[in-house]
Chains A and B, each alone.
Chain A
Amino acid sequence: MSELLVETRALTKRYGKVRALAGLDLTVGQGEVYGFLGRNGAGKSTTIRILMGITKPDAGAVRLFGEPVRGTPVHLRQRIGYVAQEQAFYDWMTAARLAKFVSRFYPTWDDATFAHYAQAQAIPLARKVGTFSGGMKMKLALALALGHRPPLLILDEPTAGLDPVARREFLERVREDAERTGRTTFFSTHLIDEVELVADRVGILDDGRTRFEGPVDALAARVRQVVDLPGEAPAAPGVRLLSDRVFRGRRRCVYEAADPAAFAALGVPLSPLPLEEIFIELVRR
Chain B
Amino acid sequence: MRRWLGLILKEVWQHAWVVLLLGAFVGFVQGVLLLGAAVGPRTITMLEAHTTFMRFFLPVFALALGHRLVARELRDRTHRFLEALPLRRAEWLAAKLGIGLVVLVGLATLSLALAAAIALFKEPLTVRWLALIFVRSQVFALTLWCVVFAIDLTGRWRIPLYLAVALLLLFLDEGTALELERFGPFELVGVTLVLERLDAPWVALAWSLAICAVAVAGGATLAFARDGTVAASLAERMSRREKVAVGVVLALALIGWDVADPSHGEAPFEFQSEHVLRHESARVDVLYLEPAHRPRAERLANALARDLSMLHERLGLDEAPGPVHVALRRSLDPHEYEEVPRQIDEDGVLVRADFVGDDRDPGRFDEARFRRFVLERVIAHLTDGRSDYEPHRWIAIGTAELIAARGLEPDLRAARWWTRRRRPTYAALDRLTRTEQRFGPDVARAIAASAAWTVVERHGEDAWTGLAREVLDAPSPIGLVEVLGARVTPARERFASRVPIAPFESSWAEDLRGPSGAPRTEGFIRIEREEGALRTVRWGVRFAGDDPAEHECALLHGAVGPFDRAVARDALTREVSACDAVGGEGRRLVGRYSAGDRVLLAVEIDAIEAHLRLVTLRRELAR
Contact = CB atoms under 8 A, between A and B. Distances in A.
Interface of A: 15, 49, 52, 54-56, 74-75, 77-78, 82, 84, 86-93, 97, 101-102, 104-107
B5 interface: yes
Given A89-B78, A90-B14, A90-B78, A105 B2 contact: yes
Contact of A101 (B10, B76, B77, B227): B10
Interface in B55-108: 76-81, 83-88
10 contacts: A54-B84, A54-B227, A55-B227, A56-B227, A78-B86, A84-B81, A88-B78, A90-B14, A102-B85, A105-B6
Give the top 4 A-B pairs by smallest Cβ distance, nearest first: A104-B6, A77-B86, A88-B80, A88-B81
Nearest to B4: A104
Nearest to A89: B81
A92 B3 contact: no
Tell me what chain B mostly uses at the interface: helix, strand, loop, or mixed. Answer: helix
A104 B78 CA distance: 17
Contact of B77 (A77, A88, A102): A88
A101 B79 CA distance: 14
B5 A104 contact: yes
Interface of B: 2-3, 5-6, 9-10, 13-14, 76-81, 83-88, 226-229
Nearest to B80: A88
Contacts of B79: 88
A93 to B, nearest CB: 8
A65 to B, nearest CB: 14
B86 to A, nearest CB: 4
B86 A105 contact: yes
Given A105-B86, A106-B86, A84 B227 contact: no
Nearest to A85: B80
Given A56-B227, A97-B13, A86 B2 contact: no
Given A88-B77, A101-B10, 6 more contacts: A15-B229, A86-B77, A86-B80, A101-B9, A101-B13, A105-B2
A88 B76 contact: yes
B10 A84 contact: no
A7 B338 CA distance: 86
Contacts of A106: 86
A15 to B, nearest CB: 7
Nearest to B86: A77
Nearest to A103: B6
Contacts of A75: 86
B11 to A, nearest CB: 11
Contacts of B228: 54
B2 A74 contact: no
Contacts of B81: 84, 87-90
Contacts of B78: 88-90
A105 B3 contact: yes
B88 A74 contact: yes
A104 B84 contact: no
B3 A84 contact: no
A84 B85 contact: no
